[in-house]
Structure 1
Amino acid sequence: MRAIEIRKPGGPEVLALTTRQQPVPKQSELLIKVFAAGINRPDCLQRQGAYPPPPGASDIPGLEVAGEVSAVGAAVKRFKPGDRVCALVAGGGYAEFCCVDETNALPALGSLTMTEAAAIPETFFTVWHNVFQRGALKQGETFLVHGGTSGIGTTAIQLAKAFGARVLATAGSEAKCAAMRDLGADLAIDYRQSDFVEAVKQATDGKGADLILDMVGGDYINRNYQAAAIEGRIVQIAFLRGRKAEVDFSLLMMKRLTHTGSTLRARDIAFKARIADELRQHVWPLLNERQVLPVMDSIFPMDQASAAHQRMEDGDHIGKIVLDMT
């Protein structure tokens, strides 16, 4: 099969089209003929040598795919050859075939294109776990998401609105703020023009945000504490501005804040299966009716994976970047 490999740690140019042995599904696995694969920042980190695949995972990058079931293991019960699926994988997505445990796959709804379906798993699994499971967002609460035009951000805005939250979001230009408002954000904050802490306080009559989803880190950590409400929760999922910061922890105590975080790739199959089950129950009906959708920035052919990574790293994208593997 054709696949994209990382020749050595480095920039987007180190991605290369190669030929690999087609994988064979284990007892509970599906072999997916991949039609499309999502691009995510962890892929870029892996390419740079900063985020190695977990033990047992393929060294081929790619954490989410959509395609058609080509073969199944002997113990598979949920899917059959020919079914359209999308799946969260621990690696191996940038290839013509990929294996995944059947519990980590979901139906690729007929209302979605394959490129749309491939843009769903990584972001929707991440948002569901961190915003609704770990962050415990409730109807009527105020939710602040940083990086509101990323794949994670555009998904978080839509899902938080769909479940009745008030949504505040940050981005770095008026065009991106307009895109966030179009997705349903109640307040779009251009962090280059405004202090998001003051903007959040003003928008909430001084109360602050009940839940903050942060992928920025660095100096945002201290500012998130300032922007959070009493008993507020902050969920950390990345550190684009750095993983170290000087923080006034007295705010953590005085406001009785909860600051937590998570990674998804290294979690076990059963953990991801529980997220998949909740997504099927609560989110798949919204996707089927196209009330919530992945926001598509751009689609690159498989042999232009380097250009897709460059698009990601330039930071100008709004929504998801996807490889067309056909």
Structure 2
Amino acid sequence: MKAILFDEPCNADKLYIGEFPKPEVGEEEILVEVKAAALNRADILQRLGKYPPPLGASPVLGLEIAGTVAEVGSKVFKWKTGDKVFGLIPGGGYAQYAVIHEEMAMKIPDNLTFEQAAAIPEAFLTAYQAIVWLAELKPAEYILIHAGASGVGTAAIQLAGEIGAKIIITASAEKHFICKELGAEVLIDYKSQNFREVVMRTTNDYGVDVVIDFIGANYFNDNIESLARDGRLILLATLSGGKVKEFDVRQILSKRLKIIGSTLRSRSLEYQIKLTKDFKQFAYEKISSGKIKPVIDKVYDWKDVAQAHMRMEENKNIGKIVLKIN
């Protein structure tokens, strides 16, 4: 089969379409003819040699796919050839074919294209895990979502809105419109405003109950100071680095804070299956009705994968970047 490949850690312009062995289908897996795959920061880090795939995963980039079932494993009875599916995989999405466990695959709703479906799995499962499983967000609580216009950010805004939370986001000013459209109430331009000051002013010095953060070191102190008593900080990435120079740990005690770090790709298959099932129960009908929707920044033909990666590296995207696989 054809797949997007790279020979060693490299810049985006070294990605190319080449020949790669077609994956073999396990007993409980399905082989998907991939029609669309979405980009993630993990793809960029893996390309740069900073994020190796989990043991046993395909070395080909790509964590979320949409396509049609081409073959089913010997113990698969849930799916048949021709079914339209989408889902999260540990790697191998930038290819003509990919395998996925039958319980990780979801049926593509009739109202979604392959490109729209591919934009859902990683962003929404990551956001759902952070907001529902880890933060246990409740109605009327305040939540601060950093990188609100990112793929996970746009998913998190919608999920928090369904729960009934009060939503504050950070994003560059030119991206605020989509966050507001999705339900964010307070919009902070991280380039010109101090988010802690806006948070405390907005909440009458109460603070927020939950922070969803991807930035890491540069935001850590202000995140802690922005949290209310019994607040929860969910750390999903460290885009600004991982080392905090000075921090008074007594704030954790006095405020009774929870600081939770989490990844999804390295989780066990059993964990990911349970998360997928929980997410489907919470959101599938809302997606099917259009109440919850993936936000797509741009769709690229997969031969233009270098441009797609560069757009994400330059933080130009609003929502997800998708590759159309031919």
- 1:236 and 2:235 equivalent? yes
C-alpha separation in 2, matches of 1:167 and 1:142:
6
Distance in 2 between residues matched to 1:267 and 1:185, nearest whole Å: 30
Contact 1:178 1:188 in 2 (8 A): no
CA apart distance, 1:8:
1.1
Aligned to 2:274: 274
- Counting aligned pairs with the same residue, the percent is 38
Question: Which position in structure 2 is the counterpart of 1:151?
Answer: 151
Displacement of 1:179: 2.0
Q: Which consecutive unaligned segments of at least 5 residues does structure 2 have? A: none
- Looking at structure 2, the residues matched to 20 and 110 of structure 1 have their Cα atoms a distance apart, in angstroms, of 32
Q: What's 1:211 paired with?
A: 210
Residue identity opposite 1:195 in structure 2: N
Q: Are positions 1:309 and 2:309 aligned together?
A: yes
Q: Cα deviation per residue 1:296-322 (whole Å; 9 max; x = unaligned)? A: 100110111111100100101100000
Match of 2:324 in 1: 324
| 1:270 to partner: Cα distance | 0.8
Compute the RMSD of aligned alpha carbons.
0.8
Give the counterpart letter for 2:103 in structure 1.
T
Aligned positions of 1:54-73 closer than 5 A = 54-73=54-73
Aligned-pair CA distance for 1:284: 0.4
> How far apart are residue 103 of structure 1 and its match?
1.1
Structure 1: which 4+ aligned runs deviate by more than 6 Å? Answer: none
Secondary structure of the corresponding residue to residue 283 of structure 1: helix
1: CA distance, partners of 2:127 / 2:36: 21
Structure 1 residues 1-326: aligned runs within 5 Å: 1-172=1-172, 174-246=173-245, 247-326=247-326
| TM-score, normalised via structure 2 length | 0.98
Report Cα offsets for 1:16-62 as digits up to 9, x if no partner: 11011211210000100000001000000000000000110000000
1:66-86 deviations in Å (ceiling 9; x for gaps): 000111001112211111100
The one-letter amino acid of 1:289's match is S
Q: Distance in 1 between matches of 2:314 and 2:97?
A: 29
Residue identity opposite 2:175 in structure 1: K
Residue 178 of structure 1, CA deviation:
2.1
**Aligned counterparts of 1:141 and 1:10: Cα–Cα separation in 2:** 43
SS for the counterpart of 2:149 is coil
1:73-105: per-residue Cα shift (whole Å, max 9, x none)?
011122111111001000000000000111111
In the aligned structure 2, how far is the partner of 1:257 from the partner of 1:146?
18
Q: Secondary structure at the match of 2:217?
A: coil
Count, aligned residues: 325
- The residue type equivalent to 1:275 in the other structure is L
2:34 maps to amino acid: V
Amino acid at match of 1:278: D
| Residues in 1 aligned to 2:306 and 2:204: alpha-carbon distance in whole angstroms | 46
Deviations 1:95-145 (A, max 9, x none): 000001111111111111110000000011101111110111111111110
Counterpart CA distance in 1 for 2:181 and 2:174 is 11
- Structure 2: distance between partners of 1:136 and 1:175: 31
Q: Distance in 1 between matches of 2:77 and 2:46?
A: 33
What amino acid maps onto 2:39 in structure 1? I
Do the aligned residues in 2 keep the contact of 1:103 with 1:269 (CA within 8 Å)? no
Give the aligned residue type for 1:270: E
Q: Distance in 1 between matches of 2:248 and 2:77?
A: 52
Whole-angstrom distance in 1 between the partners of 2:199 and 2:14: 41
Check whether the contact 1:119–1:321 (CA below 8 A) recurs between aligned residues.
yes
- Taking structure 1 as the reference length, the TM-score comes to 0.98
The offset of 1:7, in angstroms, is 1.7
CA distance in structure 1 between the aligned counterparts of 2:298 and 2:315, rounded to whole angstroms: 13
Question: Which is further off, 78-87 or 229-238?
Answer: 78-87
Task: After TM superposition, give the deviation of residue 259 of structure 1 in Å.
Answer: 0.3
